[in-house]
Amino acid sequence: MNSCIDFSQTPVTSVFGINSFSNAVMRERLPKNVFRELLEVQSGDKELTLEVAEVVAGAMKDWAIEKGATHYTHWFQPLTGLTAEKHESFIAPTAEGKVLMEFSGKELIKGEPDASSFPSGGLRATFEARGYTAWDTTSPAFLKQDPTGTTLCIPTAFVGYYGHALDKKVPLLKAMAAINRQAMRVLRALGNTASTRVISTMGPEQEYFLVDKALFDRRPDLLLTGRTVFGSMPAKGQEMEDHYYGAIKERVALFMRELNYELWKVGVAAKTQHNEVAPNQFELAPIYASSNVAADANQLVMETIQKVARRHGMEALLHEKPFAGVNGSGKHNNWSLATDDGLNLLEPGDDPSANARFLLFAAAVVAAVDRYATLIRSAAATAGNDHRLGANEAPPAIISIFFGSVLSDVLDALADGKAAASRGDLRMQLGVTSLPSLPLDLSDRNRTSPFAFTGNKFEFRMVGSSQSIATANTYLNTAVSQVLAEFADRLEAAADKAGTMQALIKEYYGRHRRVVFNGNGYAEDWVAEAARRGLPNIRSTVDALAVLVQPATVELFETHLVLTRAELESRYHIYLEKYSKQINIEAGVMIDMVRRQVFPAGTAFAGSLAQAAGSLAAIGAISAPQEKRAKRLAELLQESVDEADRLERVLAEAQETAGELARAKLFLDKVVPQMVALRARVDPLEKLVAKDAWPLPTYEDLLFRL
Ligand code: ADP
Ligand code: MG
């Protein structure tokens, strides 16, 4: 257990951010002019100079060493979706055989990890292994502190020799710059002179499961793939709805307390925690931040959940679908747009002009989400998420927006050019001078929508629990940037701004409102209704990824300087490859578990039944039940072995298929269904073997024991 913190003696306020080299720390430790210049660099108004970096590096080093750091690392996010770090110690030898602790501006600004083993999707050949990490001044450096030591972590971008983005941060920063440019054009055209920057904000709700570590260790599938490839449901699942928001068990509460403190120390504002729907499923939500800082923080959240869980004898599962038969885990992405002077552009205000602005930005989101629905869908495309999207607990694979009936009525009335609409306390005049006034609590709740307006933000619910949120935010910001650019073009040219604004809402909302759906997204008839509306329903990762290399996507990302064609192609290849690799491992684990655990155990148990039947018959006792069970087991064993052999064959076929797309398709079309077929034999087998004779911890153990 962690000894660093005595919780009872440590007020949160004295812990929060102690291991974060935040702007507050920098304000204290940097000369005034340097700090001021750094702020300008952060907001994009100035280029970073080596002189400034030199001073910051010195202050950062002193701060880190005072807190016990011996090493630093450029902390980055390669396209694996994980984080990477290569530790360097601060030591520099002196002529007399001693060392000094040094850290230069150059070392702060730029690192050169050997990049050859990170996926580049063809952006660089292995012999051109060069990759560079570059300091991201907008995301605070932090200390990783645990019993093994203290390391200064510097959030960095990761680019190739020719400047290609090899990570998830560079495109996100560029997409944030794009939406800043376009949203500012719109605001200026509307007469706003006070705001100087628009920032995309993000608050991700992270779901995860906890399982007892000793049980986890006995499941090769959990160890190697993060999910159970076999397991039949116990008598109880989540049907009692007694876990959701239920009282948190003490063991879990102790874990959560330590998790919160660890996150608070590095400046991550962990805020909300609760039991989720499935047994042993939980959620953590931090207070939102800029998308970039939030994406870094979410990586830390995932890592810290896993680390702290182990200290408490548990393993955290971040996989999207660790257990069949109960809910999977997602990551709800709460997204909005804020100005530097405190306006939330997706929040209705209490004066007409704020409402008009809100409706304009809301219309932009609707248009972007409809026009780029397949792109946004692809942000949630992973092998793990294929189990969720379209399955009955998760939002379906169809992108739709929930607004609630009040707002939908307002927007519909605007689109239809109706003179007035009224609804309850809402009176709406659609004259140019008197824009609608909106009631405050606009939206009811809808848990089934993949893209729900929740009063002052949109909640994109498709993203998988193990994914980096950078991707979803990059796509979302870029898509909305395009529509805002079209708005800005029109507004800048218009003499009558208010009239143009209203025309834009009418035109864009009218054209794209088919994507708005306030009903039950889990209902069968929504699938048919969505098809009638022409909304795409892309169920598999392999199909969802295709959009990345389509001409309209390339044009979108190139126009807004977010990703080039080559960078998009590389991502397409990497994500397809990742899909294939993940299924490959899962199928391999299945075959291995059947042959080395299920088959021997099942055989031994069937044999003991047959033997018992013989002994019973010998004394003239009834032996039919034993014999019958032994026979049924033998049948299922035979079928399991056959299905495993078949899986081995299609797996070999997939492995030998050339080309990322063809290979991924084979995994999707042949390997995955064969995995399902195999599981359909093994799970009933489990139910016929004595619990003590079964070699794997069961769902009952994994889901209910903590
Ligand atoms: P809900 O009950 O709708 O899920 P919460 O208040 O619990 O809403 O917020 C969920 C997440 O949304 C939190 O991480 C919160 O910080 C975040 N959030 C709130 N406002 C915004 C915003 N303007 N932009 C982005 N995220 C936000
Ligand atoms: Mg929520």
Whole-number pLDDT of residue 639 = 98
CB 414 within 8 A of CB 506: yes
Q: What's the gap in Å between 365 CA and the centre of ligand 2?
A: 19
The pLDDT score that the predictor gives to residue 234 is 87
Which ligand ends up closest to the CA of 332? 2
CB atoms within 10 A of CB 423: 13
| Residue 462 vs residues 175, 286, 400, 472, 661: alpha-carbon distances, Å | 20, 18, 11, 9, 23
Highest mean pLDDT among 115-129, 274-288, 299-313: 299-313
Instruction: Locate the ligand 1 atom nearest the alpha carbon of residue 287 and give its number.
Output: 16
What residue spans define the domains of the chain?
12-167, 175-429+438-563, 579-704
CB 526 within 8 A of CB 520: yes
CATH of 579-704, one of 3.30.360.10, 1.20.120.1560, 2.40.110.10, 1.10.1060.10: 1.20.120.1560
* CB burial string 285-324: b at 16+ within 10 A, e below: bbebbbbbbbbbbbbbbbbbbebbbebbebbbbbbbbbbb
pLDDT in tens, 412-439: 988 988 754 444 444 443 333 445 556 5
- Cβ of 287 less than 6 Å from ligand 1: yes
Cα 270 to middle of ligand 1, angstroms = 12
- What's the CA gap between 267 and 260, in Å, rounded? 10
Q: Which of 176, 199, 271, 288 to mutate to test the pocket of ligand 1 (most atoms within 8 A of CB)?
A: 288
Burial track 543-581 (b if 16+ CB lie within 10 A, e otherwise): bbbbbbeeeebbebbeebebbbeebbbbbbbbbbebbbe
Q: Which of 334, 344, 458 to mutate to test the pocket of ligand 1 (most atoms within 8 A of CB)?
A: 334
Quickly list DSSP for 634-658. HHHHHHHHHHHHHHHHHHHHHHH--
| Token pair belonging to 458 | 């949109």
Burial (0-12, 13-18, 19+ Cβ within 10 Å), 247? exposed
Question: Full-prediction pTM beyond 0.75?
Answer: yes
Instruction: Decide if pLDDT at 655 tops 50.
Output: yes
Query: pLDDT, tens digit, for every residue of 565-618?
Result: 999 999 999 999 999 999 999 999 999 999 999 999 999 999 999 999 999 999
Q: For 433-452, what is the mean pLDDT?
A: 66
Q: Which CATH class is domain 12-167?
A: alpha beta
Report the pLDDT value the prediction gives residue 300, as an integer from 0 to 100. 97
Note the pLDDT tens digit of each residue in 132-187.
899 999 999 999 998 889 999 999 999 988 888 999 999 999 999 999 999 999 99
- The protein residue whose alpha carbon is closest to atom 14 in ligand 1 is 203
Element (H, E) at 428: strand 426-429
Residue-wise pLDDT for 185-225, tens only, equals 999 999 999 999 999 999 999 999 999 999 999 999 999 99
Is domain 175-429+438-563 in CATH 3.30.590.10, yes or no?
yes
Does the beta carbon of 457 lie inside 6 Å of ligand 1?
yes
Range from 59-68, 232-241, 412-421 that averages highest in pLDDT: 59-68
Q: What is the mean pLDDT of residues 427-454?
A: 62
pLDDT of residue 548: 98
The pLDDT value given to residue 349: 77
Total H helices, total E strands in the chain: 24, 20
Ligand 1 neighbourhood includes 430 CB (under 6 angstroms):
no
CB of 445 closer than 6 A to ligand 1?
no
Ligand 1 close to Cβ of residue 286 (< 6 A)? yes
Integer Cα distance of 540 and 530 in angstroms: 17
Calpha distance 186→194 (Å, rounded)? 13
* Residue 438, amino acid: L
More confident residue, 265 or 355: 265
CA of residue 297 to ligand 2 center, whole Å: 18
Q: Is the dihedral of CA 252, 258, 263, 269 positive or negative?
A: positive
Neighbouring CB atoms inside 10 A of 123's CB total 24
